Structure 1
Amino acid sequence: MTAPPTVVLVDDSDDLRLLVRTFLERSGLEVVDEGGNGREAIALARTHRPDLLLLDVSMPEMDGLEALPQVTAASPHTRVVMFTGFEQQGLDDRVRRLGASALLEKSMSMRALAPRLLELLGQPAPGRGEPRSSAPSASVGRDGDPEGEAVLDEHRERFREVFEEAAIGMGTMTLAGRLVRANRALAELVALAPDDLVGTAYRDLVVDDGERPFEDQLAAALERGVGMVQFEHGLLRMPASRRVLTTLAPIRDSSGTPLYLFAQLQDVSAQRAAEAALRQSEERFRLLVEGVSDYAIFMLDPSGKVQSWNAGAQRMKGYEAHEIIGQHFRRFYPVDLQRAGHPEHELELAIRDGRYEEEGWRVRKDGSRFYANVVITAIHDPSGHHVGFAKITRDVTERQRLQDERESAAIALEHANAELEAANQRLARAAADQAQLVATTAHELRTPIAILSGAVQTFADQHELAGDEREQMLASMSTNAARLKRLLDDLLTAARLDAQAVALDLRPMPVAPVLAQAVAGARHRYPSLELTLVEPDPDLWVRADAGRFGQIVDNLVNNAVNHGRPPVEVSAVRVGDEVEIRVLDSGPGVPTDLRERLFDRYVTAARSGTGLGLYIVRELAQAHGGDARYEPGPPPAFVVTLPGGGKPSEGTVRTDGGDRPAPGLDVRSRVF
């Protein structure tokens, strides 16, 4: 009798592995082992060398994309099928290039999973006979498809031609910035052969990389969310006057992890020279045009006597050329500046420095004053002999009058722009938050829905299940139904918090039962978890809303269980007029870069979770008059403080409906 095909399951969801294992084993496949991350997948492939390995894409520690090449290396004959809860959107081609035989979505029917895997193994599905053909289907891969290989080779060759014949430099680099491939255009820029560039650190080719060193540009290109960076610099073996524009674009996998860098280099020397020439021409043209109407332009001899006079000078100062040529330019200054020798001092500074500029009051022919901007330039002949001065004067009186108004308007505009920018940022954050909420909620819903759907199929198709299988399946359904309820509760609470529509019925209540209930619920969901409750003082009471107090503690415990490391400990003590509820675990703690945003919405350090749990904890705690904080430890701990409360005997009486306020006791409901 032929042995059944062997299978290894690797997925970080225990419930999903249970469901898949049940379906596969009832379909004639032998599941020999299971794992929860990429590292375990590599070890299990090496140990069992199974016929097929079903590998999740998104897992902690090491994901499926990183583990896939090592799995195929450890067991070359094993067919690896990637299993994902994300939309494919290009992921299929990537996993095939890494060695996978197929990519299947977790949303597919569990009833169809085993036949699909058997088809990939070339085995007949139950009740269907032998495979129709020994050649694999198009969905399996390109093996044995000469026509597909020919098309692929044609596309590959066209890409090589485009890469090699491109007029601009192109190359691929490692994430450390070392070239592994360069086209001819890039090689020509540095006067080297393409083969000589292989293995060269790009930093060694860069000269004068401007304000940001190449290492900073490289780090910026690899940051998450960055599409590409561009910067100008010189290149080794190029003249110093020449510049290139480099574009670094990271090539990322489906999880956003950078794989390598694509570099594009373009010689922009001619463009920059043309821009500089254009700026110079524009400046000269501006001076020419403005000088005719707005500037007084005239020449002085070395002693300061007027030698020439233009129309702008006549309009501004009121003198005609014959009235002023040959006169000393000091007559344009107020009497106090003439007596102080200020005009002569300006000429001395212009000779010393080559140029002198100031703003001050000047006098027209009719005795009226105007505020002027004055530039005096020392003029030398080709032999370096001083021959006089060029003087340019501009009337800026109107500018002075309007300066205060402009400054006030500028300040008002700056405030308006700041308010507009803040509003835009709020809108952008709101849009980003909404998009992230939709994406994370969809991802969180996939696994429990798939498990519940599969379990229902199991009960529908399998009329007789063993007792332990039935209990495990029911427990799995209960666990995932509770998971969905917690997710929906968090989403509803977050929405009500945003709308300030959460009502609190604040009453004195004991702490111990709430902590015990939260711990019992966690132990039920995670039977093997090492979770300890340090029994609080029976007389320890808080003033809180019963339901919301329980939600705070549940979220703290779930956060420690899902993101920390056992053992987990829950305790409560009185500190002054407040009660501190403390949940600590034995994990490494929260990364430093996340601590300031830890209680914000949608912030999570893991690949799973909505990022709402701690946000709800803090908002509810503050609504009670307390707060929430994180202590890095060791051991790391999350702490919630709530106002202390009195016992029932101190102001409440027991009725069949529970504690109610006695006459005169101040118990309020709050809506926030």
Structure 2
Amino acid sequence: MLTTAPPTTSAVAPTAPRVVVVDDTPDLRNLLRLMLLRGGLDVVGEAADGRAGIEVVRRERPDIVLLDIAMPVMDGLEALPTLRRVVPQAKIIAMSAFGATQMAARAVAAGADGYVQKGTSLHAILAYVAELSGVEQRPARPVAVTRTHEGGRSRPVNAAPAPIDRRSSGSRDESSTLAVAHAPYGVLEVSDEPSPRVRSTNPVARRLLGGSPAVGALLSLSAPGLAHHVATHRHEADAVFDALLDAGSVRATLRRAGGSLFVYLDSTTEDVGLLRRAIATASHDLRGPIAVIDGVVEALAWGETPVPGAERDRLLQAVGRQVAELDRVTADLFTSTQVHRGTLHVDLHTFRAGALLVDLLGDHDDITVDVREDPPVVADPLRLEQMIGNLLNNARRYGAAPYAVVVRPGTGGRTVRIEVADRGPGVPVDFEPQLFREFTRAQGTVATGTGLGLYVVRTLAEAQGGTASYRRHPEGGAVFTLQLPAAP
């Protein structure tokens, strides 16, 4: 999705630096646009994924690009080399929901001029953009608010983030090394050559490799099978393959960054590693909405000029959407906990699912609700909302519009059949057996998620005497089907 920036009441100078914002969260794009315009910059375009961002940047030729790292279709790391070629003189600033991760160094190595953490105050982001791009910032009077960030440290809202300069930072800078050391998966850096040599490993990678290979040593000496795969796939943009190490089978993802190859190793058998990754992704899903809500609070209180009424209404609507997203994530986490404790409860009622879903989804322009017949169903209406919400969220993350919800009688009239369909790429065939398992996500995907959504859907369906299943759409895409008991 690509757009030209919407009109605004804020005036910008004719010579103001031109900015393109690329982020998959519309509410965050709106906040960044508001912040940049109030700081005297000209937002000339927006996009929701890396591929669309390249098109907007190619068309607008901006001076500054704010680029999210984790996006569907094409992520920021994949888009960076092309953006660098299209606008070699522009300042490209990468963004992520986490500040202390290897993503910062990877983005800088791939061509970004700097990096900011989502959740940093809007005023601090603006100050950083101005500093990095040489823009004289408009005077502003942010309110004196103190927030607590990582590690319990507090800092004022006008404390700018420390810049990362791509000319002096590499893939092994101090902050990224600390983050890689605590990553819940193996990170192995090797040289980009036919016989790769080890450059760095984190603790998880060393354990999976069965030891600590010496820096500079041939990878084939400690992991010949993995070394063969790396050499075979090293020219591919983003290869994913299975390898056998001393600790067992792993799924490896290979990505290029600067003059190195990074190999990300996920154990396919380690439950603790699975749980740690689930915690990391759940934290990401929670932090995104919190960053938007935090930004809205600051935007409403920032400066002496009040936010215009229409803009204030949009900001408050954004808060409502992000609160709903927080509610969805925490509901899934709580449901999973109830399942494990044996305390999951469903409150069965007889009602018409089609009428409920029309009322629930009728104002969503991108969703078609098709109620062919609407026989009464015996189910928990709140749990049905949770299941449909998860399926639509899954479709938006991994699929593509148009989205359709279809309600009709099941075979023999004994069930009510509810389908949620999209026209995306569908589920990878080799991942289909794991689709409804807890804490699982398809390898190689750039979309984030806890890996709980479909597990919760299946568990809730079975708790109500029904089933959940998946099939490929005959015209391309995914179809998820709920079958719930029909009223006698």
Q: TM-score, structure 1 length as denominator?
A: 0.53
Q: Which amino acid aligns with 1:589?
A: G
Offset of residue 217 of structure 1: 8.0
Equivalent residues of 1:519, 1:557 under 8 A apart: no
Offset of residue 109 of structure 1: 0.8
Classify 1:469/1:138 alpha carbon distance in 2 versus 1 (closer, same or farther; 3 Å). closer
Aligned to 2:425: 588
Aligned to 1:109: 121
Matched, 1:537 2:369: no
Offset of residue 457 of structure 1: 0.9
Equivalent residues of 1:506, 1:544 under 8 A apart: yes
SS at match of 1:107: coil
Offset of residue 258 of structure 1: 11
SS at match of 1:503: coil
Aligned to 1:75: 87
Aligned-partner Cα distance in 2 for 1:179–1:93? 24
Moved more, 446-455 or 466-475: 466-475
Aligned to 1:507: 349
Match of 2:55 among 43, 62, 65: 43
Match of 2:319 among 477, 486, 499: 477
Aligned to 1:141: 165
Equivalent residues of 1:440, 1:609 under 8 A apart: yes
Q: Which amino acid aligns with 1:611?
A: G
Size of the alignment, in residue pairs? 395
Q: Pairwise mapping of residues 263-412 of structure 1 onto structure 2 (< 5 A)?
A: none
Offset of residue 475 of structure 1: 1.6
Q: Among all aligned residue pairs of Structure 1 and Structure 2, give the percentage whose two residues are the same amino acid.
A: 32
Match of 1:602 among 428, 436, 439: 439
Offset of residue 535 of structure 1: 2.0
Classify 1:113/1:645 alpha carbon distance in 2 versus 1 (closer, same or farther; 3 Å). same
Aligned to 1:7: 19
Deviation string, structure 1 residues 556-578 (Cα, Å, up to 9, x no partner):
33333443222222222222222
Aligned-partner Cα distance in 1 for 2:332–2:421? 22
Offset of residue 464 of structure 1: 2.5
Q: Which amino acid aligns with 1:28?
A: G
Q: Which amino acid aligns with 2:349?
A: R
Aligned to 1:122: 134
Offset of residue 138 of structure 1: 8.3
Offset of residue 18 of structure 1: 0.5
Aligned-partner Cα distance in 1 for 2:34–2:262? 44
Equivalent residues of 1:571, 1:583 under 8 A apart: yes
Q: Which amino acid aligns with 2:358?
A: A
Moved over 4 A (4+): 171-174, 178-181, 211-229, 249-254
Structure 2: unaligned runs, 5 residues or longer: 1-12, 141-160, 172-189, 198-219, 247-251
Offset of residue 27 of structure 1: 0.7
Offset of residue 502 of structure 1: 1.3
Classify 1:486/1:559 alpha carbon distance in 2 versus 1 (closer, same or farther; 3 Å). same
Match of 1:642 among 472, 484, 487: 484
Offset of residue 506 of structure 1: 2.6
Aligned to 1:408: none
Aligned-partner Cα distance in 1 for 2:227–2:302? 62
Matched, 1:455 2:296: yes
Structure 1: unaligned runs, 5 residues or longer: 129-136, 153-170, 182-205, 230-248, 263-424, 647-672
Q: Which amino acid aligns with 2:56?
A: L
Deviation string, structure 1 residues 26-55 (Cα, Å, up to 9, x no partner):
011111111222223333333222221111
Aligned to 2:464: 624
Match of 2:455 among 606, 610, 615: 615
Aligned-partner Cα distance in 1 for 2:133–2:192? 38
Equivalent residues of 2:240, 2:253 under 8 A apart: no
Aligned-partner Cα distance in 2 for 1:27–1:537? 54
Aligned to 1:578: 415
Classify 1:542/1:3 alpha carbon distance in 2 versus 1 (closer, same or farther; 3 Å). same
SS at match of 1:123: coil
Moved more, 450-459 or 628-637: 628-637
Classify 1:258/1:59 alpha carbon distance in 2 versus 1 (closer, same or farther; 3 Å). farther
Aligned to 2:69: 57
Aligned to 2:201: none
Aligned to 1:566: 401
Aligned-partner Cα distance in 2 for 1:223–1:499? 36
Q: Which amino acid aligns with 1:578?
A: T
Higher relative contact order (CA 8 A, sep 6+): 2
Q: Pairwise mapping of residues 175-324 of structure 1 onto structure 2 (< 5 A)?
A: 178=194, 218=231, 252=255, 260=261
Equivalent residues of 1:604, 1:611 under 8 A apart: yes
Aligned to 1:547: 382
Match of 2:41 among 21, 29, 32: 29
Match of 2:334 among 475, 492, 499: 492
Aligned-partner Cα distance in 2 for 1:172–1:490? 41
Equivalent residues of 2:108, 2:166 under 8 A apart: no
Classify 1:513/1:102 alpha carbon distance in 2 versus 1 (closer, same or farther; 3 Å). same
Match of 2:100 among 88, 99, 104: 88
Deviation string, structure 1 residues 144-164 (Cα, Å, up to 9, x no partner):
xxxx79x99xxxxxxxxxxxx
Offset of residue 228 of structure 1: 7.3
Aligned-partner Cα distance in 2 for 1:86–1:48? 29
Q: Which amino acid aligns with 2:383?
A: R
SS at match of 1:609: coil
Aligned-partner Cα distance in 2 for 1:514–1:138? 50
Q: Which amino acid aligns with 1:455?
A: V
Aligned-partner Cα distance in 1 for 2:56–2:396? 26
Q: Which amino acid aligns with 2:440?
A: V
Offset of residue 435 of structure 1: 0.9
Relative to its length, the structure with more helix (as a share) is 1
Aligned-partner Cα distance in 2 for 1:588–1:498? 33
SS at match of 1:113: helix
Equivalent residues of 2:119, 2:294 under 8 A apart: no
Offset of residue 615 of structure 1: 0.8
Aligned-partner Cα distance in 2 for 1:173–1:104? 28
Equivalent residues of 2:114, 2:166 under 8 A apart: no
Q: TM-score, structure 2 length as denominator?
A: 0.71
Matched, 1:557 2:389: no
Classify 1:544/1:30 alpha carbon distance in 2 versus 1 (closer, same or farther; 3 Å). same
Deviation string, structure 1 residues 215-251 (Cα, Å, up to 9, x no partner):
668569975686979xxxxxxxxxxxxxxxxxxx997
Deviation string, structure 1 residues 177-225 (Cα, Å, up to 9, x no partner):
x4699xxxxxxxxxxxxxxxxxxxxxxxx9xxxx989966856997568
Aligned-partner Cα distance in 2 for 1:77–1:533? 47
Matched, 1:17 2:41: no
Offset of residue 484 of structure 1: 0.8
Aligned-partner Cα distance in 2 for 1:484–1:18? 19
Aligned-partner Cα distance in 2 for 1:504–1:565? 31
Equivalent residues of 2:471, 2:479 under 8 A apart: yes
Aligned-partner Cα distance in 2 for 1:639–1:251? 34
Equivalent residues of 2:241, 2:253 under 8 A apart: no
Offset of residue 536 of structure 1: 4.2
SS at match of 2:454: helix
Offset of residue 492 of structure 1: 0.9
Equivalent residues of 2:394, 2:453 under 8 A apart: yes
Aligned-partner Cα distance in 2 for 1:84–1:581? 36
Classify 1:86/1:226 alpha carbon distance in 2 versus 1 (closer, same or farther; 3 Å). farther
Matched, 1:436 2:272: no
> C-alpha root-mean-square deviation of aligned residues, in Å?
3.8
